[in-house]
């Protein structure tokens, strides 16, 4: 019997505007547009692909058995030593098996590797599971640090 709670995930660098990440990003955007009516006309935040590449950012694609199942990136913020995690997404059939937690840890490791000291992120009211994940991973709720009108949660972690 397979123990899905101990699945191994592999993470590779990629770009959010190239396959297979582009397709997963499209799924994420469709999902956000569904859970936040009106978001398609007025997105909460806009992050360009070129913000999530070296030397100040990165974009990871998570794989399970060779299949892309997760994405997430990070980009620099204006404050020295601080970056922001963006576009975390795990495909529905891979959820609740540790993929999101593994992705978050991989992004934090990438942030450390780029020399960041703190990482921030945000989430909206419909992203309850994300907020629990962030709290469990050591994120502390902070004051609003960006103008994402959809977000009601802003977190930070010292790396």
**Closest C-alpha to 91, from 51, 135, 53, 61:** 61
User: Which H or E run includes 10?
Assistant: strand 10-13
Q: For tokens 């398609």, name the residue.
A: 40
pLDDT (0 to 100) of residue 44: 72
**Closest C-alpha to 102, from 139, 63, 54, 59:** 63
- How far from the centroid of its chain's Cα atoms is residue 4's Cα? 22
> How many whole angstroms separate alpha carbon 26 and alpha carbon 5?
27
The structure's pTM equals 0.92
Give per-residue pLDDT as tens, 28-44: 999 999 999 888 777 77
**Closest C-alpha to 97, from 65, 73, 138:** 65
pLDDT (0 to 100) of residue 68: 98
Token output for 158: 């010292």
* Ranges of the chain with pLDDT below 50: 1-6
Token output for 115: 């020399």
pLDDT (0 to 100) of residue 18: 97
pLDDT (0 to 100) of residue 7: 62
Number of other residues whose CB lies within 10 A of the CB of residue 67? 11
All structural domains of the chain, each given as residue ranges with its CATH number in brackets, are: 7-116 (3.40.630.30)
Contact in structure between 54 and 15 (CB atoms under 8 Å): no
pLDDT (0 to 100) of residue 45: 75
């Amino acid at each position: 019997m397979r123990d899905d709670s101990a699945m191994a995930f592999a993470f590779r660098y990629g770009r959010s505007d190239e396959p297979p990440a582009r397709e997963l990003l499209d799924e994420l955007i469709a999902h956000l547009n569904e859970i936040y009516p009106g978001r398609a006309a007025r997105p909460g935040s806009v992050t360009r692909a070129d913000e999530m590449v070296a030397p100040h950012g990165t974009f990871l694609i998570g794989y399970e058995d060779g299949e892309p199942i997760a994405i997430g990136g990070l980009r620099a913020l204006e404050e020295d030593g601080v970056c922001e995690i963006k576009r975390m997404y795990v495909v529905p059939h891979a959820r609740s098996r540790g993929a999101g937690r593994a992705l978050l840890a991989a992004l934090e490791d990438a942030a450390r590797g780029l020399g960041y000291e703190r990482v921030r992120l945000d989430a909206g009211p419909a992203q309850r599971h994300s907020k629990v994940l962030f709290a469990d991973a050591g994120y502390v709720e902070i004051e609003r640090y960006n103008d994402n009108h959809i977000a009601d949660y802003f977190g930070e972690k010292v790396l």
